[in-house]
Structure 1
Amino acid sequence: MARNVTVDDEQLVFTPFWKPSSECDGCSAAPTAAQMAFVHDGTWHDGARQADGSPGVMTMSYTFTGTAVYVYGITINGTSARPAIKNVDLTFTLNNAHAGDFTYAPDATVTDYHFNVLFFSKTGLPNAQYTLQMSLNPHSFALLDYVQYT
Structure 2
Amino acid sequence: MSQNITVDDQNGDPSNGYQIIYEPKDAWVSNGIGGCPNCTMPNSNRPFMNTWHGSLSNGSVPINASFAFFGRSVTVFCIFANYAPGIIEMTFDIDGVQSGNFSHSPKGTGNDYNFNNVVFASQQLPLKNHSLTIHNGFVGGPTSLVILDSITYTTEDVASASETPIKPSSQGVSSNNSSRTLKMLLAVLLPVLVVACIALLWLFVRRRRLSRRSAACPEKATISESRAVRIHSSMRSTRTSAIRRQYIQQELRVVQEQFVDIDELERMHASSTEDIRSQLDGARERNNQLLTRIHELEAQLESAWALGLSDEPPPGYSARESLT
- TM bucket, shorter chain: 0.7 to 0.9
Structure 2: gaps (5+ residues) = 13-19, 155-324
| Corresponding residue number in structure 1 for 2:55 | 47
Q: Deviations over 1:64-116 (max 9, x none)?
A: 010000000100113xxxxx521000000000111100110111445421000
> Percent of aligned positions with the same letter in both sequences?
29
- Equivalent of 2:41 in 30, 54, 67: 30
Q: Are 2:50 and 1:13 equivalent residues in the alignment? A: no
> Against the structure 1 CA distance between its residues 67 and 48, is the aligned structure 2 distance closer, same or farther, given a 3 Å change threshold?
same
Q: Are 2:68 and 1:63 equivalent residues in the alignment? A: yes
Q: Deviations over 1:101-132 (max 9, x none)?
A: 01101114454210000010000211011100
Bigger RCO (CA 8 Å, 6+ sep):
1
RMSD between aligned alpha carbons?
2.0
> Against the structure 1 CA distance between its residues 143 and 94, is the aligned structure 2 distance closer, same or farther, given a 3 Å change threshold?
same
1:146 & 1:136 partners in 2: Cα distance? 15
What is the total number of aligned residue pairs between the two structures? Answer: 139
1:23 & 1:141 partners in 2: Cα distance? 8
Q: Are 2:100 and 1:95 equivalent residues in the alignment? A: no
1:27 & 1:21 partners in 2: Cα distance? 13
Report the residue type matching 1:146 in the other structure.
S
Structure showing the higher strand proportion among its residues: 1
Bigger radius of gyration among the two = 2
In the superposition, the TM-score normalised over structure 1's length comes to 0.85
Structure 1: gaps (5+ residues) = 79-83
> Against the structure 1 CA distance between its residues 48 and 97, is the aligned structure 2 distance closer, same or farther, given a 3 Å change threshold?
same
Contact 1:64 1:131 in 2 (8 A): yes
Displacement over 3 Å in runs of 4+: 22-27, 108-111
1:44 & 1:76 partners in 2: Cα distance? 13
Q: Are 2:184 and 1:147 equivalent residues in the alignment? A: no
2:145 & 2:50 partners in 1: Cα distance? 19
In the superposition, the TM-score normalised over structure 2's length comes to 0.41
Contact 2:78 2:150 in 1 (8 A): yes
Contact 2:56 2:146 in 1 (8 A): yes
Structure showing the higher helix proportion among its residues: 2
